[in-house]
Chain A
Amino acid sequence: MIEVKNLVKRYGLIPAVDDISFTLQPGKIYGFLGPNGAGKSTTMNIMTGYIAATSGDVRINEYSIMEDPEEAKSFIGYLPEIPPVYPDMTVEEYLRFVAELKGVKRSERKGQVDRAIDRTRLNDYRRRLIRNLSKGYRQRVGLAQALLGHPQFIILDEPTVGLDPKQILEIRKLIREIAISGADVPKEERPIVLLSSHIMQEVSAVCDEILIIVHGRLIVMDTPENLIARYHVKDVYEIEARCTEERLIEVLAPFKEMAEFDFDSNDMPEGISKVTLTFPKNADVAELLFKTLAKDGIPVRQLKLVVPTLEDIFLQLVAKADEEFAAREEERMKNEKEKSGTDSFVVTSLPEEEAEIMEEDETEAEDEADEIPEAEDADASEETKEGGDET
């Protein structure tokens, strides 16, 4: 089981991950979905221990990635956005190296490497230098690497980006195979697969549950079916018929009480009208509509019930989150202005956490005489300002 609790990661004052919490259950495939720059990779990098969180914790089988990183990491197989491969090694050499790095026993190493090569269908390439492999095959090597050491949690960051359509299908099939491969072990030991993508269709094709994150916040976590059910609140019928709009209004008058009418015949050919009727959910009026129109002899070109796709839902959610984010930012700016304007200074949760990082840095800092990332410089001035206010 993976438990993510109140994860926050800030670069300077800008939150990349903003208080995310979720729990992943064994034997399932989870999809991390969000627009570019939503914080998917950052969250994954924190979950795998590559970078540290500003606050919050990730527990993997009860081991904290912050406090017992080595134990926690031993359960994870990670394929980052760019496959971490060494171009000067052959595929087999590289996989042997990773197996050794992950502490796979000497006697099992060869077997595991062979199996990973088999599963990712790299058999013809095992003696090739990685330098000479195409992007798709490097991706497979990266995936093979993630499978070594029998990890219980497989985390894949955009595994299909840059692949051709055939390779995409193969990788998806492979991901499903990995998840099924644990069917014979006890439930709590079955693999968890977490993959990220910015393509809804991919996530809905592969995953059991979808986590949508926008601007560093987790806005929805649910199965695709539930998502559709949850956002399918109205029945929308589209009718295209050969008559004028006025005539349509006249004929469909009996439905006026139940439905909202929306005419849009602009893109239609000459003589065709299009109307969209929005009914309450499960109105089941398709046959009735057809009969009504047929009775008056209006030729119907098309009559269909429009069900929202996951893509629509996703875009809708992102648009909503965008608005909320803009509002939050405005609020923050306003607060900051007030803060610098007055002497009384309300301590939000922000400075405390900042102070925490600062302390950690202090102990290390004496030794490092060089290189300060620019983001910190911005902090420095911020920090003194806040410090000045407190006294």
Chain B
Amino acid sequence: MIAIWKRELKSYFDDMLGYFIVAAFLMLIGLFFSFYNIEGSYAFFAYPICAIASFMSALIPLLTMRSFSEERRSKTDQLLLTAPISVWKITLGKYLAMVSVFAIPVLISCVYPVVIYLTGSYAYPLTDYTTILAFFLVGASYIAIGMFFSSLTESQIIAAILAFGFMFLLGYLRDLSDKVPKEEWKNAVILILFSVVFFVIFFKMTRNFYVSFAVFAVLCIGVAIAYHVNPDMFYGSVSQIMRSVSYGETLYLFANNIFDVTSIVLYLSVSVFFIFLTIQSIQKRRYS
């Protein structure tokens, strides 16, 4: 695992990509620091951090796009998968290497609260540092998502576009959630439509019509019964779901001086979930 971590990290800095990612984040941090904190005289470094978070969906896919795609294209995955090392160690080694690259600008950004503390009249280092921590964890979960998309395809470009699209959607679901109708019955219908989509995906993956249909039926009946028993719980439920899926936005909680443990757990579980999916997608390919 350490061998893979070392190799990956070195390869990021053997060409431009690693430097580019670090430089881009540092530039953004510097830029927003001068907007908010120097020109706007804001005492919170947490705000520039939150502003930068929306750029992650553009930068993180660049970092993750080649992780598995390139190995597959150049057939070097044969070396890794035939070495006496398990797939989860390979995946974790790669993941940690990417997180390490991302950690460099995050660590450097830790200097800014000190600057505010030393030169400003007010400073809130605790809020700033918890926000930086949350920012780092959100980034780590995005890296897991990007890595998963990279494991799906041989093409780096497709991996990057898929990851970007997915993260972009995650970020904007919160804004979109206001546009979704709130009425109970419409929400129920939308949920049924979701089950249809789920059914199609499930069927595609398992190739088993009966099981997929059973799952679909259970979902539909569940919605129907719940609607019959208590229609009130459907009020605005879809926009609620959309808002909770758009988890990156919860960074603002930290900036508002709330240490939200739920969000921390969520960030970590998204990382773990997508690392798991990556492992599964690699294993699946060995079987098909």
Q: Residues of A with Cβ closer than 8 Å to B?
A: 45, 48-52, 69-71, 73-74, 76, 78, 80, 82, 84-89, 97-98, 100-103, 145, 357-358, 360-362, 364-373, 375-376, 379-380, 383-384, 387
B-chain residues with CB within 8 Å of residue A74 when the two chains form the complex: 84
A84 touches B79 (CB 8 A): yes
How far does the alpha carbon of A44 sit from the alpha carbon of B2 in the complex, in Å? Answer: 28
Q: Does B4 contact A (CB under 8 A)?
A: yes
B80 to chain A, nearest CB (A): 7
How far does the alpha carbon of A78 sit from the alpha carbon of B207 in the complex, in Å? Answer: 34
- 9 closest Cβ contacts across the A-B interface? A365-B205, A84-B79, A100-B3, A74-B84, A73-B84, A380-B207, A48-B82, A84-B76, A80-B78
B-chain residues with CB within 8 Å of residue A86 when the two chains form the complex: 7, 11, 74, 76
How far does the alpha carbon of A78 sit from the alpha carbon of B83 in the complex, in Å? Answer: 9
What does the 1/0 interface line of B1-41 toward A look like (CB < 8 Å)? 01110110001001100000000000000000000000000
B267 to chain A, nearest CB (A): 19
Q: Does B261 contact A (CB under 8 A)?
A: no
B-chain residues with CB within 8 Å of residue A52 when the two chains form the complex: 286-287
B-chain residues with CB within 8 Å of residue A70 when the two chains form the complex: 84-86
How far does the alpha carbon of A383 sit from the alpha carbon of B81 in the complex, in Å? Answer: 30
B201 touches A361 (CB 8 A): no
How far does the alpha carbon of A101 sit from the alpha carbon of B283 in the complex, in Å? Answer: 19
A371 touches B153 (CB 8 A): yes
B11 touches A88 (CB 8 A): yes
Q: Does B266 contact A (CB under 8 A)?
A: no
- Tell whether A78 pairs with B288 under 8 Å between CB atoms, given A71-B84, A88-B15: no
A364 to chain B, nearest CB (A): 5
How far does the alpha carbon of A362 sit from the alpha carbon of B204 in the complex, in Å? Answer: 11
How far does the alpha carbon of A89 sit from the alpha carbon of B3 in the complex, in Å? Answer: 14
- Size of chain B's interface in residues, with CB distance under 8 A? 44
Q: Does B121 contact A (CB under 8 A)?
A: no
Q: Does B206 contact A (CB under 8 A)?
A: yes
How far does the alpha carbon of A48 sit from the alpha carbon of B206 in the complex, in Å? Answer: 27
Q: List 6 A-B contacts (CB under 8 A).
A: A49-B82, A50-B286, A101-B79, A361-B207, A384-B209, A387-B209
B84 touches A364 (CB 8 A): no
How far does the alpha carbon of A150 sit from the alpha carbon of B86 in the complex, in Å? Answer: 20
A358 touches B207 (CB 8 A): yes
B156 to chain A, nearest CB (A): 14
Q: Kindly report which residue of chain B lies nearest to residue A65, judged by CB atoms.
A: B82
What does the 1/0 interface line of B171-215 toward A look like (CB < 8 Å)? 000000000000000000000000000000111111111110000
Q: Kindly report which residue of chain A lies nearest to residue B197, judged by CB atoms.
A: A369
A362 touches B208 (CB 8 A): yes
- Tell whether A97 pairs with B83 under 8 Å between CB atoms, given A361-B284, A365-B206, A383-B208: no
B200 to chain A, nearest CB (A): 10
Complex partner residue of B208 from A78, A102, A103, A358, CB under 8 angstroms: A358
How far does the alpha carbon of A158 sit from the alpha carbon of B210 in the complex, in Å? Answer: 45
Q: Kindly report which residue of chain B lies nearest to residue A82, judged by CB atoms.
A: B75
How far does the alpha carbon of A45 sit from the alpha carbon of B78 in the complex, in Å? Answer: 9
Complex partner residue of A379 from B80, B207, B280, CB under 8 angstroms: B207
